[in-house]
Structure 1
Amino acid sequence: MDKQPRWTQTWISGTRAAGVDLGYPGERLGLPEEGSGSVGRFGRRIGAIMVDWLICTWAITRGLLQADPRHAAWIGLLVFAAEYVLLVGSIGMTFGMRLFGIRVAALDGGGRPPLGAVLLRTLLLCLAVPALIWDRDQRGLHDRAARTVVVRL
């Protein structure tokens, strides 16, 4: 019996198991592997979005606005979208992103993304599904559509 892996072992385990080296996340984009300017990883991004969601839904929607609990989810989503557009559009990061040491950068130069890209990215982020489908550079579909990348500070 030969020692070749079964055909299912190559695609179930991913391309790295098949011997394909894809490089590190962000290499294709010209970003460093680690440190400032490298791709913001999954844990930091999830932590940041959870902080932002809690701020928008609990602190602002229920605390300051005292929204009816039946409508709080939709109002919280609108507050969340407003926070993203205002803060990412002006300083390139939200409160949660700052806390976790990441920011949103435009692909063409690494600076703050233009307002149109921020609006598109925010709309797709609020739909949730595009943000859950990632490429090998750990960019969601919302980042790809807006031509942005989340990087470490």
Structure 2
Amino acid sequence: MAGFLDSWTGGSPSAHEQGHPGERFGLPAEGVGAVAGFGRRLVGVTLDWLLAYVLTLAVLGLDALGGSRIGWWVWAVWFVLTVVPTALFGMTPGMVAVGIRVARVDMAATVGFRAILRTALLGLVIPPVIRDADGRGWHDRASQTVVVRARA
């Protein structure tokens, strides 16, 4: 899928021009620091959404499940639960569970305010699904970040 999208998304070399995902950022092909796979990323964000549901229901009560605004409350809790730890530590609770983290492509120590844009685009669902040859979704490209493995 990444090869097809490279033809019209631009800005990233095709898979044929680089040896492995993340090579142009100086990342290893395997192990700690390598670009994280889509499966780990999906599991991590799913765990964060589930945590947001649990926290929202803990505050609003189980009666909120039938309400029309529960989705917006869960999204708001998820947004804060994602932005703050990503900006400060590069990891959300779900990312910690699956062993991945967000890093800036310039390898600065923290993601900082880029986490706001990244999370807002991630919440739109489509940007993370469309990926480039480095495995970065539009949300990562816009915020100049890459998700890497934090443990083997």
TM range (shorter): 0.7 to 0.9
Give me the whole-angstrom Cα distance separating, in 1, the residues matched to 2:107 and 2:19: 22
- Any gaps of 5 or more consecutive residues in structure 2? 5-15
What count of residue pairs does the alignment treat as equivalent?
A: 136
> Is residue 102–residue 146 contact of structure 2 (8 Å, CA) maintained in 1?
yes
- 1:32 has 2:17 as partner: no
- 1:128 has 2:125 as partner: yes
Partner of 2:56: 61
Local SS of the residue matching 2:64: coil
TM-score (norm 2): 0.82
Partner of 2:10: none
Mapping of 1:45-56 within 5 angstroms?
A: 45-56=41-52
CA RMSD of the aligned region, Å? 2.1
Give me the whole-angstrom Cα distance separating, in 1, the residues matched to 2:60 and 2:32: 37
- Any gaps of 5 or more consecutive residues in structure 1? 1-10, 13-19
Letter of the 2:58 counterpart:
G
Deviation per CA, 1:65-109: give whole Å up to 9, x if none: 327232111110111101111111111100000000000001112
Local SS of the residue matching 1:68: helix
Larger Rg: 1
Measured after TM superposition, the shift of residue 22 of structure 1 is 4.3
Local SS of the residue matching 2:147: strand
Determine which structure has the larger helix proportion and give its number. 2
Measured after TM superposition, the shift of residue 29 of structure 1 is 1.8
Measured after TM superposition, the shift of residue 140 of structure 1 is 0.4
Partner of 2:102: 104
Measured after TM superposition, the shift of residue 21 of structure 1 is 6.3
103-112 or 73-82, which deviates more: 103-112
Measured after TM superposition, the shift of residue 110 of structure 1 is 4.9
Give me the whole-angstrom Cα distance separating, in 2, the residues matched to 1:22 and 1:32: 12
Partner of 2:115: 118
Partner of 1:145: 142
Partner of 1:5: none
Local SS of the residue matching 1:150: strand
Local SS of the residue matching 1:127: coil
Partner of 1:79: 77
* Aligned residues with identical type, % of pairs: 42
Runs of 4+ in 1 over 3 A off after TM superposition: none
Local SS of the residue matching 1:151: strand
Larger RCO, structures 1/2 (Cα 8 Å, 6+ apart): 2
Measured after TM superposition, the shift of residue 63 of structure 1 is 2.5
